[in-house]
Structure 1
Amino acid sequence: MPKFILIVSVSAKGSTPEIAQVIGDELQKSEYSVKVIDVKDIDSLEGCTAIVLGIPLYTVFSGKDAFSMFKQQFGEELAKIPVAVFSAGLFYEGLKHEKEDYVMTTLKKILFPINPVTTTLFVGTLEGENLHLKDRDENRNVNSIANFQNLDKIREWAHALPSLLDLQQRDFPARIAGKHKVGT
């Protein structure tokens, strides 16, 4: 069975799967075999040589979300392969250092016992009509879509992933002829 990079996303507002797709597209351009999938659609990690997890900040703090169930189901397997994590949420690029530290510390707790080789934060999008009541109250000026994603930053991180995940040392046949189609 050909080996592939599995890019798993959980969605709260839609930004996380969009970012996952950009990462998948970039890795596929580098001729890596990639499979981008929603966490709820995973039934096996067979053939997966590395995982990129996309976790929205909105859902993971409860501990009762789809990611938590995925972690519980595949925890032992996740400990055996390299994992990279990105989290998407609504915070601005100039996020105060202490808030970024809080988010990263909380994310580490949520991920435990998974020990990612890299973890990063990306800014997502904001859709006024999809906001929870509390969020609408805090963001009164948002009545349509506001996209805060930095695609250059996302693509830069995606280009660094093969090295961070140590794919060359993991018997990963980069440039596979029979690649998985991104998005299947």
Structure 2
Amino acid sequence: MSARIRPLALPVALLAMLLIGLLSGAAPAAAAPAPSTPLTPKAAASGSHVTKFSTTLTKKDRTGAASRALAVITCGGTISTPVVQDVPGNPPVTTVNAFCDAPVDSIDVVAIMARNGVSEAVGTDRQLNATSATASASVLCLATKNNYQGFGSAAFVKAGYIGSPLFLSGSSPVVNGSC
């Protein structure tokens, strides 16, 4: 029986470490230190709150044929604050949008929804040769008052650019409510 459990222990431990790293905003241990930018809250036109972040990737070689590509690519993203409504069928959801002002080789996005400090749902998206990617995570309503918070991260990869891979992460404010 323990022989069946042991093979699952390593993948479960790796997944737990990944989620802890995402929740803490840390890059994976094997990665070189990546630039980070503090998150700043921004109110959206619809009245919902969004947290926004951005930074840049800089081209290594600016000579010859390579000089036709953008020298600097600005990438960033937003994470939405969970909206908790006392309306059946409207579960709290958080959405992470990641984007660049020019195509990059890949964008990987993770959205995590936590209820009362515990990760309850994960959403992911991976886009290749793209300028944007979006992931959402939502939880079922529990007809009791709870704290909800969204966490998100994005990894941007562009060959030949300093700062690649670029890791950005952040969290939304905590929202208290019942639905």
Shorter-normalised TM-score: what interval? under 0.3
Identify the structure with the greater strand proportion. Answer: 2
Q: TM-score, normalised by structure 2?
A: 0.27
Q: TM-score, normalised by structure 1?
A: 0.26
Higher-RCO chain (CA-CA 8 Å, sequence separation at least 6): 1
